[in-house]
Amino acid sequence: MDSTAPSPSVLVIGSGISGLACARALHDGGATVRVVDRGRVVGGRLATKRLDDRPVDIGARYFTVPEGPEFSDGPGFSDPVADWLDRGLVRPWTDTFESLTVGAPSERKSGPVRYAAPAGLRSLATNLAESLRTDGVPVEQDSEIEAVPESGVVAGIRYDTIVLAMPDPQAARMLEPASPVAEELFGAERWQPTLSVVLAWPERRWPADLHGAFVNGSPVVAFIADDGDRRGDGAPVLVVHTTAEFARAHLEHPETGIDAVIDEVNGLLGIRERPSSTYAHRWTFSNPAEQHSEPFLLRGRIAVCGDAWGAHSAVSTAWASGDALGRALTA
């Protein structure tokens, strides 16, 4: 970037991992950047809920680390992960999950190492946000912005670029009706919902070597995570992610789906007792049903990034998309 030219000013809307990665790349590249989010805390779908006096991951299940950078010649997701490992913010969790099929014996399948966070995955977003704030970048929560015009003027301030770091349907709702950007985004029908249902027992009621399980053939359950095993404190807590079809039927009142989830999980894992406490959280746009081929979208003053932009929906993809966009804006 020409050092005699004024640094670009960028507004990043969304303080999930994609927005925070974008803000970090923008700041490191010399841009003036501000991050805002309507939520009370950072993290987006890196969501952690405190239940029964302990944090429980109710958003992303885990993350993996791809080999090398996902896009072009960027630093790669392994760089922040290495820092988090040094700080004790993340831990290798497991490379083995069960594959449970209704009415059939279970199978054990190995894959890449899945990482988890002892304090919950939202702690990683908190770390990124604190680092930005230390460097003088505003990261503002409880900040509602309802519309983003093509002019780049928001609340009387003109920005060179406005970044929408969020699922496509949420980004589209913020754009002008005739916005050409909205036409390139996936509609709500191309995103999958899920319910994250937390089930806690007084003590563990399932096999000690169960880390997590993909579930096949169930109309209710898609994935089960042992949250105590995942976080390393041994708490007898399961987090269940439902199928998209089941979630659609219970999005308005997520709590109405809890009993069916309990029955399905108890049947799959051979548990006889009902949990002592439960909680359900809805994710209307949990993950995209398909992916954009590009790492981000940039049209005029409007940009969009997130986990839908890349090879597959993942925490690493969300980070790489935001990082690639931030570097592109300051190149």
Whole-number Å distance between alpha carbons of 102 and 243: 14
* 9-92+117-189+289-330 is classed CATH 3.50.50.60: yes
Q: What share of the chain is helix, strand, coil (3-state, %, to 5)?
A: 30, 30, 40
Extract the tokens encoding 113: 């190492």
Q: What are phi and psi of 132, to 5 degrees?
A: -65, -45
Instruction: Enumerate the domain spans of the chain.
Output: 9-92+117-189+289-330, 192-287
Digit-coded pLDDT (tens) for 151-165:
999 999 999 999 999
Strands 237-242, 191-200: pairing is antiparallel
Q: List Cβ<8 Å contacts ≥24 apart for 154-161.
A: 154/11, 157/11, 158/9, 159/9, 159/10, 159/11, 159/301, 160/8, 160/9, 160/10, 160/301, 161/8, 161/9, 161/10, 161/11, 161/298, 161/301, 161/302, 161/303, 161/329
The second-level CATH assignment, the architecture, of 192-287 is: Alpha-Beta Complex (3.90)
Per-residue pLDDT 10s for the chain (331 aa) are 344 446 679 999 999 999 999 999 999 999 999 999 999 999 999 999 999 999 999 999 999 998 866 665 567 899 999 999 999 999 999 999 999 988 788 899 999 999 999 999 999 999 999 999 999 999 999 998 989 999 999 999 999 999 999 999 999 999 998 899 999 999 999 999 999 999 999 999 999 999 999 999 999 999 999 999 999 999 999 999 999 999 999 999 999 999 999 999 999 999 999 999 999 999 999 999 999 999 999 999 999 999 999 999 999 999 999 999 999 999 8
Tell me 43's DSSP state.
Answer: B
Digit-coded pLDDT (tens) for 293-314:
999 999 999 999 999 999 999 9
Residue 111 burial (C-beta neighbours within 10 Å; 0-12, 13-18, 19+): exposed
Q: What are phi and psi of 24, to 5 degrees?
A: -65, -45
Q: C-alpha 216: how far from its chain's center? A: 23
Question: Helix and strand tally (H, E) in the chain?
Answer: 8, 17
Strands 9-13, 32-36: pairing is parallel
Say if CB 156 and CB 3 are below 8 A apart: no
